[in-house]
Amino acid sequence: KFFMFIHIFVMEGTKPTTSQAADVQREHWRGAVALKLELHPDEVTTVPPPAPLFVLAPRLGYLPQVAQQALEHFGSVLPPGENEIWFEYQGVPLKWHIPTGSLFDLLSEGDGQYPWCLTVHFRSYPRNILQQVTGDSMQASYFNSLKESAYVLTGSSNSVMSLTKKSQQELWQNVLQSQDVEFFANMQKMDLAKPTRSRIPIRVYHREKVFDSFTGWKSIDYLSKSFDIDAEKDELTARHLFRDCLKSHSEEELGKVKLVVAGVELSLDVNVGDMYSHLKNADNWLYLVLKPATS
């Protein structure tokens, strides 16, 4: 159903009714990535090792959201010590501040890689690579991102910075529980859903090579930028956007990549404004993934 909506309202640019727009929003917010979590062998203290944990991780959320489930599943076999959860894919620690859906879209190889198989650790946290997850660090990271997007959309981040602790908690719980209706109602009350400029915030993750322990995050280019969707005489498409931000890529090279947004492969000729309207994340950023067309 979600793919049908995206084809009609994003790829074809058809304007949805209020009811249809609500359906798209609901399906987008309810999206999840199926994970298969296996405990790293060095942290297993029993024979046989524990069975993997299968869990659904919200696409618009963050990997640490499944930490409690993982601890409950694997906790009895862990060696003595303090539990600091982190996730690994292809031998590389995963950056938890990137929304889980975008991580999967960026790093997974091929359509058949489902569920997404990750290794989970509770020891030897790689502090030289990952920001530590402590207390409210996930929430703080989210609101920092929301402040940045508010500045792009309105020219000021005051609407976010002036939120009371109660309002912050309400909004954050909406994100954690994938409550789209309540989230946007709170955004309206907090004046966070009223863009005053034609600029929109976009984050681009571009993977040129296979992601593994050799290439790691060096294989990923990242760009965080605002774009003026009204400045273009013609409609601003993803192709126009990538020409601007990937100046080293020729038209031929752009033909060798694919664009994935919210788990859906889209044409480079899709309208950026339509993508933003329907597929922005809970932090009001639009996350675009570019990767080799063969992935």
Structural domain includes residue 263: yes
- Longest CA–CA span in the chain (Å) reads 66
Structural domain includes residue 40: yes
Domain housing 87? 32-121
pLDDT tier at 157, thresholds 50, 70, 90: very high
* DSSP label at residue 85: -
- Looking at the chain, which runs of residues are DSSP E strands? 32-39, 53-58, 86-89, 92-93, 116-121, 199-207, 220-228, 257-261, 264-266, 286-292
Contact between residue 154 and residue 73 where contact means Cβ atoms under 8 Å apart: no
pLDDT at 196 over 80: no
- The CATH number of the domain holding residue 110 is 3.10.20.620
Residue 106 — left, alpha, or beta (φ > 0 → left; ψ -120 to 50 → alpha)? alpha
Structural domain includes residue 253: yes
* Rounded mean pLDDT, 206-219: 83
Structural domain includes residue 128: no
Q: Is 277 helix (H, G, I), strand (E, B) or coil?
A: helix
Tokens of 18: 């209020």
* Rounded mean pLDDT, 212-227: 87
* Rounded mean pLDDT, 223-230: 88
Average pLDDT, the chain: 89
Structural domain includes residue 2: no
Pair 106, 158 in one domain: no
